[in-house]
Amino acid sequence: MNVAVVGGGAVGLSTAAALVRRGASVTVFERDGLGSGASGRAAGLCYDAFADDVDAAVAADALARYRDLNLFEPQPYVWVARDESDATAVREQIAGMRRNGVAVEALTPAELGDRYPALDISGIEVAGLARDAGVLDPDAVVATLAEQARADGANIETGTPVSLASPTTVETPDETRTFDAVIVAAGPQTKPLVAAVGVSLALKAYRAQALVTEPVDAALPSFYDATREFYWRPKADALLVGDGAHEVDPTEWNPEADAEFVTRSLDRVEQSTALSPACDRAWSGLCTATPDGAPLAGQVADGLWVATGWQGHGLMRAPAMGDYLAADVLNRPNPLSEHLPDRVDPTRFDGSEEFAALDDPTRDWNE
């Protein structure tokens, strides 16, 4: 089978690699450079801390594949709640994770402080700790996946914008080519690309911001504050801090971080630790959202598949979802195919739905 993959991020490259491993002939089209979209601007958090059994299965598959590729750096993941409502949710999440075999534990504030003395535990009601979590280097992920795909025979064309003349016909500035199947994994651009061939997606874009501090002298885990709604992860000897998301028009957005975001984020780190870090660099990136918080990953027309709507978790799930999509396109078995199709079926919406991009209807698919 001759397959086109539109989008050279982690999901597109993972799918391409999985396709060529199964004997398909694959061409990847990327309008800019590999990883120039959401993948290259991702935070790189990677964990299996999900209470839902389907979410947990996808995460476990992805983590195992990243470990096999030597891309996974172990780093415990801690999330905390500061009010009773959030604390109840955290306790329920931990119970669900344990049922799924996730290596997780509940910590009192005192226990959390004993493990991480640099944390300020005042105001924390409860904490969860996922022991098998870790972090990824987005640039290394993209480079490794591309190298793997090329080594197995995929053709990767960068600097090549495309449009669809039909569900299986790809037009570039130089030529028109017909494939047996096309997979569009182009972030927010997936929506206008498939709209050209009559497919409407329930998809919105939102802008998420992040910064990296100057070096800090403290041993800290990856951390998410469910009440204050921000996170950080260790990055070398610094911290990568994120929040500040809001819905945007994907054709008009600022890739630079807002000054107010930088100030607020540094203040939150200072309020949560014994540190007073400064900002080294900051940026923003586009993420995609769906009405129910789950991705759109599957067939939308004869010969046409999409993979988008990751809620900021595309990099984390890429190798598992790429393998799932490749198996779906080629009609091959995949362990995730037992329950995942209904969850991620892109045709579960008709594309006319009104929704807010940053609603959190399913806590497990969002941070």
Confidence of residue 365 (pLDDT cuts 50, 70, 90): very low
| Location of structure tokens 């999509």 | 325
Q: Is residue 94 within 8 Å of 100, Cβ to Cβ?
A: no
Alpha carbon of 215 to those of 40, 118, 198, 308, 354: distances in Å? 22, 14, 50, 34, 43
* Chain segment 139-150, per-residue pLDDT in tens: 999 999 999 999
Residue 126 has pLDDT above 80, yes or no: yes
Task: Please compute Rg for the chain using Cα positions.
Answer: 20
Tens of pLDDT along 235-294?
999 999 998 788 999 999 999 999 999 999 999 999 999 999 999 999 999 999 999 999
Give pLDDT tens digits for 1-36. 999 999 999 999 999 999 999 999 999 999 999 999
Spatial separation of the C-alpha atoms in residues 61 and 95, rounded to whole Å: 21
The sign of the CA dihedral 358, 349, 335, 17 is: negative
- In the predicted model, is pLDDT for residue 366 greater than 70? no
Question: 161 Cβ partners below 8 Å, 6+ apart?
Answer: 31, 172, 173
Cβ neighbours of 253 (radius 10 Å): 15
pTM score of the predicted model: 0.94
Residue 358: pLDDT band by 50, 70, 90 thresholds? Answer: confident
Average pLDDT over every residue of 25-50 = 96
Mean pLDDT for the chain? Answer: 95
CA-based torsion, 203, 207, 212, 213: positive or negative: negative
pLDDT reading at 303 higher than 60? yes
Please report which confidence band the pLDDT of residue 359 belongs to, taking 50, 70 and 90 as the band edges. Answer: low
The DSSP code sequence of 175-238 is -EEE-SEEEE--GGGHHHHHHTTT-----EEEEEEEEEESP--S---EEEETTTTEEEEEETTE
25-29 and 2-6 beta bridge pairing: parallel
Enter the tokens of residue 121: 């535990």
Q: Please, which pLDDT band fits residue 346 given cuts at 50, 70 and 90? A: very high
Percentage of residues in the chain with pLDDT exceeding 90? 95
Q: What is the largest CA-CA distance in the chain?
A: 64
Are 256 and 283 contacting, i.e. CB atoms less than 8 angstroms apart? yes
CA distance 162 to 192: 11
pLDDT of residue 361 exceeding 50, the answer is: no
- Give the pLDDT confidence of 204-238 residue by residue, as tens digits: 999 999 999 999 999 999 999 999 999 999 999 99
